[in-house]
Chains A and B, each alone.
Chain A
Amino acid sequence: MKSIEKLMRKMEPDHDGKWAKFHPVWDGFYTFLFTPGETTVKGAHIRDGIDLKRTMFMVVTALIPCLLFGIYNTGHWHYVANGESTEFMHMFGDKLVYGLLKVLPLVIVAYAVGLGVEFMFCIKNQHAIQEGYLVTGMLIPLIVPADIPLWMLTIAIIFAVVLGKEVFGGTGMNIVNIALTARAFLFFGYPTMMSGDRVWMSGAPDGFSGPTQLGELASFTGAKADWAFGSIDGFMQSHSTLDAFIGMIPGSVGETSTVAILLGAALLLYTGIASWRIMLSFIAGGFVVGLLANQFAVNEYMMLPPVHHLVIGGFAFGAVFMITDPVTASQTNTGKFIYGFLGGALSITIRVFNGAYPEGVMMAILFMNVMAPLIDHYVVGANIKRRQKRLKTKAA
């Protein structure tokens, strides 16, 4: 350790030398390797062991089950599309290799491009390099189709990091979730790559159709006969809730398996990194709207069981990793309940009522990101009112 430290110290650019501008980059690497010997000066002389690096590291760890499952699932649907395999565990090795070849480049590009942009801004502003992107860089590959061209991903990430984060001042200052900003950019910029029935199976041959369950639901036009499944029962028979729960469905890389997501959720909740308030109320919100839709079911789509809503599309992934982003979420505890509930409710509402856009979670969360300060404003306002009332009772 001493030798590494010495080597790092040797490479440290002088503050007024030729490479002085690059000091933040050196500092970023140094503080990555070594917790600096910085001590408290006054105030609390001892500090909690946690820091932002550890927090972000925990989130990245929580994402690993999704990543691993996503790699395999990508391979699986490739071979299904090509008609070489139908059983999930058949041709395990081939599927894994194919998935790795597809997904790893996404991860590498996401980190390389995003961190590159971050470094440029840190050099320009002479800021310390902050840890927020460690998570964003892992989230982005997990919420795009495996087949997305890398240049598209690059543009989306540059857009998201610059306009979603750096213009607001960097980590901790952003208003909307950065990973979702990238996703939204792709969705609006290249809609044919982000929806429809062709993109969800990597390397599918021409003419093959393999939409997500949401895509199939959205293809319901109102007249039963036109719909491939005939009725919601027909749909449920060909797509069981259990399959969707385990993740054996096509979709974005990391969002399909609710099991893998729940593993991540368990880690985040147990360590206390993510807010259980937001997660719980998000799921409750989605479930309630799912139930309501059932009650008023005017078409077959609205009869989809609420539990099924929770395991298809990006709902579970959004509930655990997206809506809980502490920077863009509501910051008060009461606000978190409201924020999560509205987010979940809105997700399913968009799904059920907007036929053109079956995946409502991204929109709902982005919208709630913008609304979060308003929610907080009223929650804090209630506290202020209570405080002023105390003064009045006193005077009376």
Chain B
Amino acid sequence: MSKTIKLRKGLDIKLVGEADKVKATVERSDSFAIKPPDFHGLVPKMLVKVGDKVKAGTPIFEDKYNPDVNFVSPVAGEIEDVVRGAKRRILEIRIKADAENSFEDLGAVDTANMSGEEVKAYMLKNGLWPFIKMRPLDVIARPEDKPKAIFISGFDSSPLAPDYDFILHGENELFQRGLYALSKLTDGKIHLTLRGGSVADDTFTKAQGVQINKISGKHPIGNVGTQIHHIDPVNKGEVVWTVNAQDVALIGRVMSSGQFDASKVIAITGSEVKNPKYIKTTIGTKIDNIIADNIKEGNVRYISGNVLTGDKVDADGYLGFYHSQITVIPEGDEPKFMITQGWMSPGFNKFSINRSYFSWLTPNKKRVLDTNLNGEIRAFVVTGEMEKVFPFDIYPMQLIKSVMYNDIDLMENLGIYEVAPEDFALCEFVCTSKINIQSVIRDGLDVIQEECM
């Protein structure tokens, strides 16, 4: 049965810099990177050395503790560098791209005639597996699991998020092929959740073999975690998988063409972008060509992903594996005098869920927010603010505290299995005490993975 869900809790943060609906092309960057830290908890085992030639689809590393899972190169070229951090942890594997892209022949397949095991083997071998994440833990799915369902969110509700309807318009067939492949991996349903009250693109509405649900309300309704919680919640011992909608089409494309074509459309957004727009590019691209001549003067922050959950990258950094968006906002590293801009100011340009600043007079105004913490880290004092933006039947503050004092029993009871750090992004945003809640939740999930999984 499809479900229709209405949520009251949540928060839409209206920001300046939404992408115009034009698909532009920029010159392809000559450098690409796969960043193992994008895959939380992964220990990579390199399969290539610096100087090796690779094609798009050549495995470059595997999961050390799960060697079936291959990670492949998104482009053809030469392994340029392996950047390591503390304790020789691999941070980036950089590939210098050839002028002309060439593909490894993976063999086109028709999933209709394949068994679940065959589909799984194909995806594992050819670098498609990392697109599937699992709940609990919010890490790459374990191949040995049998998920009770697979969830795909048909839209993104986060601030300045790219519009999947626009991105996937006309990709009906590839999206459908991806869905067929995924349907072989579970005995349960595939849930595709769309925004209630608006008409989605044909790609989604005409999808076969899925259960289409509708959800309406404010962010985080587009988060797959919110949807899982309200459609088919994860209990202890159960596993569901999630795949990003654009990656479903990518899986379909690779399986039907036999070529690891890692191109995707991303949105470049944010108040500091001159012309926010959509750009056709490739997974792992260096962002220099994308931002070139399109950023306003000043000290800015580049974020791969959205402002709530994305990763900070440098101007010569690389697009994250799962990201469909680059956001550029001003850095807020200047001290602000208390009366003019600080805590005693009228605050016409501040944004808050409380009405203690005069910005409440203009609730629909799109704002330019910078990266200033707007305060300092404190113990939890204010209560009830997270509950306003957290649409789960979970007590967010109690769960966060249970993680902080490491009470595994309580974490389980309060619902740690159902959440991912991104579900707490809004809690982190509204927290008066400026606590880094997403990191806390991630730590909690790590403890659970170590002790209970």
Residues of A within 8 A of B (CB): 1, 4-5, 31-55, 57-58, 128, 130-132, 169-173, 270-273, 275, 277, 326-327, 329, 331-333, 336, 376, 380, 383-384, 386-388, 390-391, 394
Minimum CB–CB distance for B358 against chain A, Å: 11
Q: Could you say which residues of chain A place their CB within 8 Å of the CB of B350?
A: 49-50
Q: Shortest 6 CB-CB distances between A and B: which pairs? A: A51-B375, A172-B379, A49-B350, A34-B335, A35-B342, A43-B438
The answer to whether B371 touches A35, judged by C-beta atoms less than 8 angstroms apart, is: no
Partner of B383, one of A36, A48, A331, A388: A331
The answer to whether B397 touches A128, judged by C-beta atoms less than 8 angstroms apart, is: no
Let me know if B275 is at the binding interface, CB within 8 A: no
10 contacts between A and B (CB under 8 A): A35-B341, A37-B333, A43-B438, A45-B327, A51-B374, A52-B432, A55-B381, A55-B382, A326-B384, A331-B383
In the bound assembly, the distance between CA atoms of A341 and B355 in angstroms comes to 26
Minimum CB–CB distance for A314 against chain B, Å: 23
Q: A34-B336, A36-B335, A387-B413 are in contact. Are A47 and B429 (CB under 8 A)?
A: yes
In the bound assembly, the distance between CA atoms of A376 and B398 in angstroms comes to 10
The answer to whether B342 touches A45, judged by C-beta atoms less than 8 angstroms apart, is: no
Q: A132-B381, A326-B381, A383-B414 are in contact. Are A49 and B342 (CB under 8 A)?
A: no
Q: Could you say which residues of chain A place their CB within 8 Å of the CB of B374?
A: 35, 47-51
In the bound assembly, the distance between CA atoms of A256 and B191 in angstroms comes to 60
Stretch in contact with the other chain, from B42-50, B278-286, B304-312: B304-312
Give the number of chain B interface residues (Cβ < 8 Å).
77
In the bound assembly, the distance between CA atoms of A391 and B234 in angstroms comes to 9
In the bound assembly, the distance between CA atoms of A380 and B394 in angstroms comes to 9
Partner of B335, one of A37, A273, A326, A390: A37
Partner of B384, one of A1, A40, A171, A336: A336
Q: Could you say which residues of chain A place their CB within 8 Å of the CB of B312?
A: 41-42, 45
Q: Could you say which residues of chain A place their CB within 8 Å of the CB of B2?
A: none
Closest A-chain residue to B438, C-beta based? A43
Q: Could you say which residues of chain A place their CB within 8 Å of the CB of B433?
A: 52, 172
Q: Could you say which residues of chain B place their CB within 8 Å of the CB of A376?
A: 398
The answer to whether A329 touches B383, judged by C-beta atoms less than 8 angstroms apart, is: yes
User: 14 other contacts beyond A46-B13, A53-B375, A333-B384, with CB at 8 A cut-off?
Assistant: A31-B376, A34-B336, A35-B336, A35-B372, A36-B335, A38-B376, A39-B301, A39-B332, A40-B373, A43-B421, A50-B353, A52-B432, A383-B395, A391-B235
In the bound assembly, the distance between CA atoms of A386 and B311 in angstroms comes to 36
Let me know if B370 is at the binding interface, CB within 8 A: yes
The answer to whether B329 touches A35, judged by C-beta atoms less than 8 angstroms apart, is: no
Minimum CB–CB distance for A376 against chain B, Å: 8
Q: A37-B334, A52-B381, A329-B383 are in contact. Are A46 and B356 (CB under 8 A)?
A: no
In the bound assembly, the distance between CA atoms of A36 and B113 in angstroms comes to 62
Let me know if B236 is at the binding interface, CB within 8 A: yes
The answer to whether A43 touches B425, judged by C-beta atoms less than 8 angstroms apart, is: yes
In the bound assembly, the distance between CA atoms of A331 and B380 in angstroms comes to 11
Partner of A42, one of B311, B334, B344, B373: B311
The answer to whether A35 touches B338, judged by C-beta atoms less than 8 angstroms apart, is: yes
Looking at A35, A46, A50, A383, which has the most chain B CB atoms within 10 Å of its CB?
A46
Let me know if B198 is at the binding interface, CB within 8 A: no
Minimum CB–CB distance for B340 against chain A, Å: 7
